[in-house]
Structure 1
Amino acid sequence: MAAKTKTEKKVSKIDIITYYMNHVLEHEHKPKSVYKFAKDHKFEEKDFYKYFGNFEALREEIWESFFENAHTLMSQNEEVEHYSSREKMLTFFYTFFEILTANRSYVLYVIEENEGQLNNLKQLKGLRRHIKSFAKDLIEDDNDEKNYSFLKRNERIYSEGAWIQFLFLLRFWKDDKSADFEKTDVAIEKSVNTIFDVFDNTPLEKVFDFGKFLYKETMK
C-alpha cells in the first residue's frame, strides 16, 4: 500500500469530476488509470473509489450532474411550481442546454469521441433515466387533473418521446452556429410545443411548421 505523501489532499466528488473534465480537454484523451490520474492531481487513489467504481461511472455521473444542476436551478425559482407541464418542460430544456453550453468543449469532446453515436452511449444511461422520469412525472400530474381516461396521455410513450427529443436537440445544438445558440432555443420551443400539441390532439399546423423548420435547418 502506497504511503500518503504530504502533497496528497482530500477531494470532493465535484473536484474529481472537474479534474477529469479538464484532463480530457487538455490532453485530448482519457486518463490511463485511476492510479495515475490520482497521482497527477495529488490525491489518494482510495478517494476516487469513495465516489466512483471506475471512469465509466464518473463519466455517467457528469451527465447526471448536468441534469441535477438544471433541476436545482428550476426548483429555486418559486414561479416554476405554478407552471403548466408544457412550461416546465420548456424551462427544463432551456436551463439544461445553458448548462451544456457552459461545458460545451467537454460535451463536444464526448460526442466526437463517440462519432456521434449517442443512442448507444453508455454514459448517458443515468441521464436517460432522469429525463424519462422527469417527463413521466409531468404527464402524471396532468393526468391527475383529467376526469376521463380517454383524455389522459400515455406516460410511457411520452417519457420515451422526451428522451428522443433530447437526443435530437443535442445533435441540433452541436451543429448550431447561430449567435448565442438562438436557433437551438427556437428548436426547443418548437419541439416541445409540437409534442404537447400532438398529445392534446390540437390542430397540426405546428407539427407542419416544425417539420419545415427541421427540413430547412437540415438542408443548410
Structure 2
Amino acid sequence: MEATNKTITREDIVSIYMNEVLEKGAKPKSVFHFAKENDFEEAEFYFFFGSLESLEKEIFRLFFVNTVDLLHKNEEYLEYDMKNKMLSFYFTFFEILTANRSYVKQTLKTSPNPLKNLVQLTTLRESFKEYVSEILTDDYRLEIEKIQKFQEKAIQESAWLQLMLTIKFWLDDESPAFEKTDIFIEKSVNASFQLMNTAPLNHLIDLGKFLFKEKIYSRK
C-alpha cells in the first residue's frame, strides 16, 4: 500500500469502522483487510487499538464518555440527587444510542449467541460501574462499614443489569421517538431507587444489635 500524507486519528478509525460495518452489514475480516480497504497502514491501527474487538469495546465506551461529558456541561446536574443523576444519565445515554441505533443494532445482534455480542460491552460495564460508585450518596449506604463494600458492589451490579435490560427493551422498541423506552426508564429507575432505600434495613440492623445486646446482658 502506498503511504498517505494524511495522518489518521483515533477518531477517524472509529468513524471509518462504524461506517464500514453499516455499509457492508458485517465487521471486517481482519485488521489487515480493514486498513487496506480504507487506505491507511495497519501499524496506524495498532497505534490506537490492539484488535478489532478492542475497537468495538471502545466505541461503546465512547458512547458512555460522551454521555458523561454532556451531563457535566449542565451546571444543574451537579446539584441533582443520585436518582435524578441516574435518570439524566439514562435519557442522555439513550439519545446517543438512538443517534447510532443502526450501528448498535447491527453489532449487538451479529451473533445468535447473546453472550458473545455482550462481550463488546465489557469496557462500558466497568466505566458504568465506576459512575454508579461516584454518584452513590450516603442516603443509599448502610451505616455498617463492614458491609458497605459488599452493598456498593451489589448496587453496581444491579444497576448494570438494569442498564442491560433497558438496552434490550430499547432495541425491541418500535414506538414513535422510542417513547415506550422513556416510560420504561422512568418507571424502572424509580422502582430501583425505592428498593435501594436503606432506611428500613438500617432500622432492622439497629433492632438486631439491640436484641443481641439484650440477650448478652440478660445472661449476666
Q: Structure 2 residue aligned with 1:108, among 105, 113, 131? A: 105
Question: 1:120: Cα distance to partner?
Answer: 6.7
Q: Structure 2 residue aligned with 1:58, among 44, 55, 59? A: 55
- Structure 1 residues 145 and 179, CA gap change in structure 2 (3 angstroms): closer
Q: How does 1:21-32 map to 2 (within 5 A)?
A: 21-32=18-29
What secondary structure sits across from 1:9 in the alignment? coil
Give the AA of the match of 2:80. Y
Give the whole-Å Cα distance in 2 for the aligned partners of 1:88 and 1:119: 31
2:87–2:185: 8 Å Cα contact kept in structure 1? yes
Give the whole-Å Cα distance in 1 for the aligned partners of 2:193 and 2:59: 29
In structure 2, the partner of 1:129 is 126
Tell me, which stretches of 5 or more residues in structure 2 are unaligned? 201-220
Say which structure is richer in helix. 2
1:8–1:44: 8 Å Cα contact kept in structure 2? no
Give the whole-Å Cα distance in 2 for the aligned partners of 1:145 and 1:198: 10
In structure 2, the partner of 1:163 is 160
What secondary structure sits across from 2:48 in the alignment? coil
In structure 1, the partner of 2:197 is 200
Give the whole-Å Cα distance in 2 for the aligned partners of 1:36 and 1:45: 9
Aligned positions, number = 197
Give the AA of the match of 1:39. K
Give the whole-Å Cα distance in 2 for the aligned partners of 1:184 and 1:144: 27
1:9–1:44: 8 Å Cα contact kept in structure 2? no
Question: 1:136: Cα distance to partner?
Answer: 1.7
Higher RCO structure, 1 or 2 (CA under 8 Å, sep 6+):
2
What secondary structure sits across from 1:49 in the alignment? helix
Question: 1:93: Cα distance to partner?
Answer: 0.7
2:140–2:196: 8 Å Cα contact kept in structure 1? no
- CA RMSD, Structure 1 to Structure 2 (Å): 2.4
Question: 1:135: Cα distance to partner?
Answer: 1.0
Deviations 1:46-68 (A, max 9, x none): 11111101101100000000000
Give the AA of the match of 2:48. Y
Q: Structure 1 residue aligned with 2:135, among 133, 138, 145? A: 138
Q: Structure 2 residue aligned with 1:73, among 70, 81, 95? A: 70
Q: TM-score with structure 1 length normalisation?
A: 0.82
Give the whole-Å Cα distance in 2 for the aligned partners of 1:146 and 1:127: 24
- Structure 1 residues 202 and 149, CA gap change in structure 2 (3 angstroms): closer
